[in-house]
Chains A and B, each alone.
Chain A
């Protein structure tokens, strides 16, 4: 995939409210070019809301989000992908009634389908996920959960993003498949792609990222390198409410 990009994602004082409920309260973090950052926390900590707010899929009630020189708060949700940000939604959200190939091509919607570059990217994605090549003509809805997850990641990669946002890729997957996801994430990281990974699975996140943000009740509870956080007993307390 693409390498050597210079855009950093900077989030400052980002807040999200649903009705009167504060889901995300003035959080901030950065993802440097090529860096991989994880956001972990228990259910309902505000992780998914954070990611959706970055994409503009839920209204932001405050804060600044920039990607390189672009002020993302001024970008329409449908145009975020055109600034080099790929999004893998929670629960995969592939287009179930379309074939695997169509799903992938839709990932490159912002580009021309006739462009040879698109075919090239398709070949690269299929190389990364051979199973998608085998299933090319199948309907996405007929794939297994793990395959759908690969497809969702592949679809996001089709836009040749510089930063990829992943929301709970491990949800509902068996430990073996979680390992596969981890391998993919590590490979993307090695290719120089910036990652922002939202996960409940702390182990996966610690292994896939260099730095982590721990969220609790919509706020940043802790930040640090993944290696140090891994050893920190406070993380488990936050998860188990002790």
Chain B
């Protein structure tokens, strides 16, 4: 039991990361129906940018992440602009187009940062804490706290602000949104930028947990999508639940199946998604009248 709980706790921080990835993915998906396969690579760029600012420029970790969010936000705006003609049209083409962007981002990362990758020192030096006989890394708590703050801010933005409400309205009915005066294109662009920012936050946070390299986006990205689908595509609370489910499954599989953890995770995921294709909370799609 103790071992099992310890394993689950080990999955918390990665679960929070997947939740952030899934949230960004879901936000974009439900606002404009765009499935962004470059999301994982945006995360990778965020991780590199944050680690560069943190390690080389010696900026504080938090500031480095904020800068990384800004940088990826701009990248997000660019991707959205280029792929705008495909929005709400052809899923397959969009998917391929974002994969193309992913290839570009990966190549750029190699050109800028080299192919070898870097380890990022943990910004929290404190020793692990012990609760009820379970060990918790302090950095994991930091990740959880920051992810929680990000969730609160995002939900607050969507619920409390005029712009956030308008973005939700666009997601639900873009024609009605237009008729009340909302600039749908701008709303989509902002959603994409926020999505990219969330990926950068996840990337910045995951840096000290994993090794940062140009191909890290692949696995994390796909697990993030898996989390989003498991929770129900386009659903914010689903993304959070899905993220933690995948994180813990990951940790559990790593503990029990060692090298085969990914195989196990994706097999379990495939079976789960076949049993319930719309995810735990059901899909929230854009309306296509």
Contact = CB atoms under 8 A, between A and B. Distances in A.
Q: Do chains A and B touch in the complex (CB under 8 A)?
A: yes
Nearest to A82: B181
Contacts of B168: 95, 97-98
Contact of B165 (A78, A89, A94, A98): A98
B285 to A, nearest CB: 12
Given A78-B183, A106-B165, A98 B172 contact: yes
A54 B37 CA distance: 38
Interface in B133-190: 162, 165-166, 168-169, 172-173, 175-184
Interface string A63-89: 000000000000001111110000101
A80 B182 CA distance: 11
Contacts of A89: 175-176, 179
B169 A106 contact: yes
A198 interface: no
A8 to B, nearest CB: 21
A60 interface: no
Given A95-B173, A96-B172, A106 B180 contact: yes
A93 interface: yes
Given A98-B169, A102-B165, A106-B169, A81 B175 contact: no
A188 B162 CA distance: 28
A155 interface: yes
Contacts of B169: 95, 98, 106
B178 A57 contact: yes
A113 interface: yes
A108 to B, nearest CB: 8
A239 interface: no
Candidate in B173, B178, B179, B180 with the most chain A CB atoms within 10 angstroms: B179
B155 to A, nearest CB: 13
A102 B167 CA distance: 12
A131 interface: no
- How big is chain B's contact interface, by range? 10 to 19
A88 B184 CA distance: 18
B176 A107 contact: no
- Counting chain A residues whose Cβ lies within 8 A of the other chain, the interface size class is 20 to 34
Given A78-B181, A107-B180, A93 B165 contact: no
A215 to B, nearest CB: 22
A109 B180 contact: yes
B179 A110 contact: no
Contacts of B284: 97
A113 B180 CA distance: 14
A106 B166 contact: yes
Contacts of A106: 165-166, 169, 177, 180, 182
Contacts of B178: 57, 77-78
A236 B69 CA distance: 64
A159 interface: yes
Given A98-B165, A113-B162, A81 B180 contact: yes
Residue of A78, A89, A155 contacting most chain B CB atoms (<10 Å): A78
Contacts of A78: 178-179, 181-184
27 contacts: A57-B178, A57-B179, A77-B179, A78-B179, A78-B182, A78-B184, A80-B179, A81-B180, A87-B179, A89-B176, A89-B179, A93-B175, A93-B176, A95-B168, A95-B169, A95-B172, A95-B173, A95-B177, A105-B165, A106-B166, A106-B169, A107-B180, A109-B180, A109-B181, A113-B162, A155-B180, A159-B181
Given A102-B165, A159-B181, 12 more contacts: A57-B175, A78-B182, A81-B180, A93-B176, A94-B176, A95-B168, A95-B169, A95-B173, A98-B169, A105-B162, A109-B181, A109-B182
Interface of A: 55, 57, 77-82, 87, 89, 93-98, 102, 105-107, 109-110, 113, 155, 159
Closest 8 CB pairs of A and B: A110-B181, A93-B176, A81-B181, A87-B179, A95-B172, A109-B181, A95-B169, A109-B180
